[in-house]
Homo-oligomer: A and B are copies of this chain.
Amino acid sequence: MIKVSIVGATGYAGVELLRLLCGHGGVEIKHLVSKSFAGQRLSEIYSNFSGKYDFVLSDLDIDEIVRDSDVVFTALPHGASQEVITKLYEKGVKIIDFSGDFRYDDPEVYEKWYEVPHTNPELLKKAVYGLCELHRDKIKNADLVGNPGCYTTCSILASAPLLKNGLIDEDSIIIDAKSGVSGAGRSTNLSNSFCERTENMKAYKIATHRHTSEIEQELSKFASKDIMVSFTPHLIPLKRGILATVYANLKKDVTDEDIYNIYKEFYKNEYFVRVYEPGQLPETNHVAGSNFIDIGFKVDKRLKRVVITAVIDNIVKGAAGQALQNMNIMFGLEETTGLDKPGFYL
């Protein structure tokens, strides 16, 4: 049994991770740290955990956590995350981090987009970017994994095969992404109150959203140069789900069938990536509650452009599910353990 602790257990990502861990079978929950609710039972905040799977929440005690845990998931705001992780790492425990703090190859990129200094660039060097389908080999031996962002996971997996196969103009990528509201976390922000958000939608942070930099870092690895992408996030009145619509100009004459074959080949060993046949397009309820990413596409011959649409559950494949997938890889378990089931649909 892998001994697991979560720091920041009562946010949406933390509690979803816990839900998934309850169905994993190979883990033992040790400490659930919640600054806001230390001393309370989890079921007082999330009544769905009432009963057999209830836990007591605790304060942050680094020594105790390190002593009792094989792996710690940290789900803290960026900045705060660096501090805690530095301490955990020094004492020797594997860490999977949900924040943006350990996702970057270059601390300068982090500092530019997050507008704060990185306090531990040495540790950043040792961290592995946890996009499982693309960095599996490094994750296997990692001690610290920067779990990818939700928009980024969806956008990168949707786009990588196009770049890898040299199909598109590398400067033409536009990603129009739509997210459910849980992506904003468990927040009392007025603009995310029910009456302001239901029956409403908007774009936000155009050209400035932090996930842009993460997407660019990873996609550049499939390109012949450092590339930049247009990224526009939108807020949509649903809870779970991201839909990314990716546009790119084709350099070659390809058919839907060609694209299909290229994606099938690229993801041929990937359980969690489902490529749709030409004519089919994914919807977010196909993946809600699951760790899958579903990908469809359409070649627009008139414009010599390809459009990819990809969907994930933002708090599963976009957060807690991928974190668990990372844990499975790091500990040599079957990668799909606790994650292989179909989603909710309803």
Which residues of A come within 8 Å of B, CB atoms? Answer: 12, 15-16, 19, 22-23, 46-53, 171, 174, 176, 178, 180-182, 186-190, 192-204, 206-207, 228-230, 232, 234, 236-241, 243, 245, 247, 271, 274, 281-290, 292, 294, 296, 298-300, 302-303, 305, 307, 309, 311, 315, 340-346
Contact between chains at B239 and A236 (CB < 8 Å): no
User: Cα distance A292–B53 when bound, in Å?
Assistant: 13
Known: A19-B345, A49-B342, A283-B201. Contact between A174 and B247, CB under 8 A? yes
Contact between chains at B207 and A307 (CB < 8 Å): yes
Chain B residues lying within 8 Å of A180, measured Cβ to Cβ, are 199
Contact between chains at B47 and A202 (CB < 8 Å): no
Residue of chain B at shortest CB distance from A178: B201
Known: A194-B198, A290-B48. Contact between A234 and B243, CB under 8 A? yes
Chain B residues lying within 8 Å of A201, measured Cβ to Cβ, are 178, 236, 238, 241, 243, 283-284
- In the complex this chain forms, how many copies of it are found? 4
Contact between chains at B240 and A206 (CB < 8 Å): no
Contact between chains at A198 and B234 (CB < 8 Å): no
Known: A50-B274, A193-B187, A294-B47. Contact between A283 and B202, CB under 8 A? yes
Chain B residues lying within 8 Å of A181, measured Cβ to Cβ, are 194-195
Contact between chains at B195 and A305 (CB < 8 Å): no
Within the complex, the shortest CB–CB distance from A219 to chain B, in Å, comes to 14
Contact between chains at B245 and A283 (CB < 8 Å): no
Contact between chains at B203 and A19 (CB < 8 Å): no
Residue in A187, A189, A198 with the greatest tally of chain B CB atoms within 10 Å: A198
Chain B residues lying within 8 Å of A298, measured Cβ to Cβ, are 206-207
User: Cα distance A237–B287 when bound, in Å?
Assistant: 16
Within the complex, the shortest CB–CB distance from A282 to chain B, in Å, comes to 7
Chain B residues lying within 8 Å of A238, measured Cβ to Cβ, are 198-201, 237
Within the complex, the shortest CB–CB distance from A270 to chain B, in Å, comes to 11
Within the complex, the shortest CB–CB distance from A191 to chain B, in Å, comes to 9
Contact between chains at B19 and A342 (CB < 8 Å): yes
Within the complex, the shortest CB–CB distance from A299 to chain B, in Å, comes to 8
User: Cα distance A19–B341 when bound, in Å?
Assistant: 8
Known: A15-B345, A307-B206. Contact between A47 and B286, CB under 8 A? yes
Q: Which of B194, B230, B290, B309 contacts A193 (CB 8 A)?
A: B194
User: Cα distance A101–B44 when bound, in Å?
Assistant: 35
15 A–B contacts, CB within 8 A, in A order: A19-B345, A46-B342, A48-B344, A53-B341, A174-B305, A176-B247, A178-B201, A189-B193, A194-B198, A199-B285, A202-B243, A207-B302, A228-B303, A232-B307, A247-B247
Known: A193-B194, A341-B53, A344-B344. Contact between A199 and B240, CB under 8 A? yes
Chain B residues lying within 8 Å of A22, measured Cβ to Cβ, are 341-342
Known: A197-B194, A202-B284, A341-B23. Contact between A234 and B307, CB under 8 A? no
Contact between chains at B195 and A12 (CB < 8 Å): yes
Residue of chain B at shortest CB distance from A302: B228
